[in-house]
C-alpha cells in the first residue's frame, strides 16, 4: 500500500497544499458562523466507511441507537435520530443499489417461516399505504419501516452467517446501552431517583421513560447470559463479575425508570425462558394462550369488576407503583391507555380491511373518542403518545390483516426459537438463541401496552434480534460456523 513516504514530490506537495487549504477553509467557516460545515469531514468519513467497511459501519451504528438523539421536526414534518438514521438511510440506498446490480436471494432464506412472515407483513404495510387516508404520512412511515427491515433484518442476516458477527453486535449494543444508563443514573441521582423526574430524565436520548426502559430490556439478557455463561460465550473467568456489575446497573436503571410495562415484560420474558428450559412444545403454549383468551373473554365482566376494586394510584413507593398496574378506575395512565385502545377498535370497525393507513393513528383517533371515556390527560391533538399498543396500532392503521400478519410474525419467531433451543446440540447456539428470544419477548409483551418500533431505539434491536433467530436456525443449528461468511463491502 502506498504511503506518504513513497509518494512523488509532486504528490506530497499537492497533499499538503490540499490539507492546508481545507484547514484554512474550516477556520474561515468557523469565524463566519458556518459551524455546520465542520461536520463535512465526519460525513465524508462515514460515507467512506459505508463503502469500504459496510459490515462494521452497519453493526456499529445499529448498536449506537441507544445513544442517538431524536430531533422531532427538522422541517416538512420530518424527524430524524442523529447521527444514526442518516447512516441507516445511506446504508439502505447502498444496499438497494448493490442488490439491483449484483445481489440475489438465497432460496433457503426465502423459504424460512420468519422471512415469509416479514415479507407478508411488509407487503401488507405498503398495500395499506396505497389506500391510506393520509398518503404522504403513510409513505414516510412505511419507507422508514422498510429501511429498518432491509438493513437490520435482511442485510444483517447475511452478515450473521458468521457466528462471531452476532456477538460483535450484541457486545457493542450492551456497551452503548450501559453507557446510556450510567449517564442517566448520574443525572437521576441528583434528584434522589424520584419518580416525578424519571419521565424525562433520559432526555435528549429518549423522549420518555417507557421507551428508555424498553430499550434497556433488550440489553438485559445479553449481559445476563454472558454473566452466567461466561466460559461458554468466550469470556475469561475474571470478566464474570464485571459483566454481573453491568447487569446490575441495567436492572437498577429499569427499576428507577418506574416503567410498569417493562417490569411486567421482564417477568413475562422469564416465564418464556422457563418454558424454553423445560422444552415445552410451542404448540401447547399456543393452545394454552387460546384457552386463556377464551376464558378471559367469557369472564370479562367478573374480571373488570375485580380490577375496579383496585384504587391504588401511581406512587414513588415500589409496592404501590406495582399495585397501580391493574387500577382501571382512577389511574389516569391506565384509563387513557384503555381510551386509546377503544378508539383503535372503533377505527378498525370503520375501515376493517386496510385501516386508516400506516402512521396515521395519532392524526385520526380524536373523532373516535367518547366524552365519557376522556381522562385528565386526554388530548385531541395527538401529542401525548400513540395507540399505546403495537397490536392495536397495526389493527387501526393496516386493518385486521395488518394485525394478523404482525401476530403471525411474533408467533413464527417464537416457534422457531423454541424449536431451535430444543433441537440444537451446540451450547453456544442454544444460549444465543435463548438470549435473542428473551430479548424479543420483553418487547412482545411490552408491545401490548406501548408502541415504539418506529423509533431506532427499538426498531434496530427488534429486527436484529429477529435476524439472529433466523441466522442461527439457517446457518448454525449444528454448531458455531464462522466459515459461511461472504465479504459485505458494497
What is the total residue count of the chain?
A: 490
Burial 266-287 (b: 16+ CB within 10 A, else e): bebbeebbebbeeeeebeebee
Lookup result for grid cell 413507593:
317
Residue 203, classified by CB atoms within 10 Å of its CB into exposed (0-12), middle (13-18) or buried (19+), is: middle
The pLDDT of residue 330: 60
The pLDDT of residue 83: 80
The pLDDT of residue 444: 94
**Alpha carbons 418 and 276: distance in angstroms, whole number:** 6
Over the chain (490 residues), what is each successive 10-residue block's mean pLDDT? 55 62 60 60 67 82 89 59 83 85 81 96 97 94 94 94 94 94 90 80 85 94 92 83 94 89 90 89 82 63 46 51 53 81 92 94 90 79 77 94 95 94 91 95 91 91 97 87 48
* Closest C-alpha to 405, from 153, 146, 121: 121
The pLDDT of residue 483: 55
Q: What is the 3-state secondary structure (H, E, C) of the chain?
A: CCCHHHCCHHHHHHHHHHHHHHHHHHHHHHHCCCHHHHHHHHHHHHHHHHHHCHHHHHHHHHHCHHHCEEECCCCCCCCEEECHHHHHHHHHHHHHHHHHHHCCCCHHHHCCHHHHHHHHHHHHHHHHHHCCCCHHHHHHHHHHHHHHHHHHHHHHHHHCCCHHHHHHHHHHHHHHHHHHHHHHHHHHHCCCCCHHHHCCCCCCCCCCHHHHHHHHHHHHHHHHHHHHCCCCCCCCCCHHHHHHHHHHHHHHHHHCCCCHHHHHHHHHHHHHHHHHHCCCCHHHHHHHHHHHHHHHHHCHHHHHHHHHCCCCCCCCCHHHHHHHHHCCCCCHHHHHHHHHHHHHHHHHHHCCCCCCCCCCHHHHCHHHCCHHHCCCCCCCCCCCCCCCCHHHHHHHHHHHHHHHHHHHHHHHHHHHHHHHHHHCCCHHHHHHHHHHHHHHHHHHHHCCCCCCCCCHHHHHHHHHHHHHHHHHHHHCCCCCCCCCCCCCCC
Cell of 474: 439457517
The pLDDT of residue 317: 53
Lookup result for grid cell 458494497:
490
**pTM for the model:** 0.86
Amino acid at each position: 500500500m502506498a504511503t506518504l513516504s513513497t509518494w512523488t514530490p509532486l504528490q506530497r506537495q499537492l497533499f499538503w497544499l490540499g490539507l492546508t487549504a481545507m484547514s484554512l477553509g474550516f477556520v474561515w467557516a468557523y469565524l463566519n458562523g458556518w459551524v455546520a460545515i465542520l461536520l463535512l469531514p465526519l460525513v465524508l468519513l462515514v460515507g467512506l466507511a459505508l463503502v469500504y467497511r459496510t459490515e462494521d459501519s452497519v453493526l456499529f451504528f445499529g448498536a449506537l441507537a441507544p445513544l442517538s438523539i431524536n430531533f422531532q421536526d427538522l422541517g416538512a414534518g420530518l424527524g430524524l435520530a442523529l447521527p444514526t438514521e442518516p447512516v441507516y438511510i445511506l446504508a439502505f440506498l447502498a444496499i438497494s443499489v448493490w442488490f439491483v446490480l449484483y445481489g440475489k436471494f438465497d432460496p433457503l432464506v426465502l423459504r424460512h417461516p420468519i422471512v415469509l412472515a416479514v415479507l407478508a407483513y411488509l407487503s401488507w404495510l405498503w398495500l395499506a399505504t396505497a389506500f391510506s387516508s393520509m398518503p404522504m404520512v403513510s409513505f414516510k412511515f412505511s419507507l422508514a419501516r422498510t429501511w429498518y427491515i432491509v438493513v437490520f433484518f435482511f442485510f444483517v442476516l447475511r452478515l450473521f452467517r458468521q457466528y462471531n458477527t452476532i456477538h460483535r453486535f450484541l457486545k457493542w449494543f450492551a456497551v452503548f446501552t450501559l453507557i446510556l444508563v450510567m449517564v442517566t443514573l448520574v443525572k437521576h441521582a441528583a434528584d434522589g431517583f424520584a419518580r416525578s423526574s424519571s419521565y424525562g430524565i433520559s432526555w435528549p436520548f429518549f423522549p420518555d421513560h417507557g421507551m428508555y426502559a424498553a430499550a434497556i430490556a433488550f440489553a438485559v439478557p445479553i449481559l445476563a447470559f454472558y454473566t452466567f455463561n461466561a466460559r461458554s460465550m468466550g469470556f475469561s473467568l475474571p470478566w464474570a463479575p464485571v459483566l454481573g456489575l453491568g447487569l446490575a446497573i441495567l436492572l437498577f436503571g429499569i427499576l428507577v425508570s418506574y416503567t410498569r410495562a417493562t417490569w411486567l415484560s421482564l417477568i413475562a420474558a422469564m416465564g418464556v425462558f422457563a418454558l424454553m428450559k423445560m422444552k415445552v412444545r410451542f404448540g401447547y403454549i399456543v393452545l394454552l394462550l387460546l384457552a386463556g383468551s377464551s376464558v378471559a373473554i367469557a369472564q370479562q365482566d367478573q374480571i373488570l369488576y375485580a380490577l375496579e376494586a383496585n384504587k391504588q394510584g401511581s406512587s414513588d413507593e415500589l409496592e404501590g407503583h406495582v399495585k397501580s398496574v391493574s387500577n382501571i378506575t382512577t389511574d389516569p395512565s391506565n384509563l387513557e391507555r384503555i381510551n386509546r385502545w377503544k378508539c383503535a377498535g372503533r377505527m378498525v370497525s370503520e375501515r376493517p380491511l386496510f385501516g386508516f393507513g400506516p402512521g396515521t393513528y395519532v392524526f385520526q383517533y380524536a373523532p373516535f373518542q367518547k366524552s365519557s371515556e376522556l381522562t385528565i390527560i386526554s388530548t385531541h391533538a395527538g401529542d401525548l403518545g400513540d395507540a399505546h399498543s403495537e397490536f392495536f396500532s397495526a389493527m387501526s392503521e393496516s386493518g385486521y390483516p395488518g394485525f394478523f400478519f404482525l401476530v403471525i410474525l411474533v408467533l413464527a419467531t417464537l416457534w422457531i426459537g423454541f424449536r431451535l433451543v430444543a433441537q440444537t446440540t451446540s451450547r453456544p447456539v442454544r444460549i444465543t438463541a435463548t438470549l435473542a428470544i428473551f430479548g424479543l419477548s420483553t418487547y412482545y409483551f411490552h408491545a401490548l401496552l406501548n408502541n415504539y418500533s418506529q423509533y431506532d431505539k427499538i426498531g434496530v434491536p427488534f429486527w436484529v434480534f429477529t435476524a439472529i433467530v433466523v441466522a442461527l436456525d439457517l446457518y448454525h443449528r449444528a454448531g458455531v460456523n464462522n466459515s459461511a461468511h461472504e465479504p459485505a463491502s458494497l
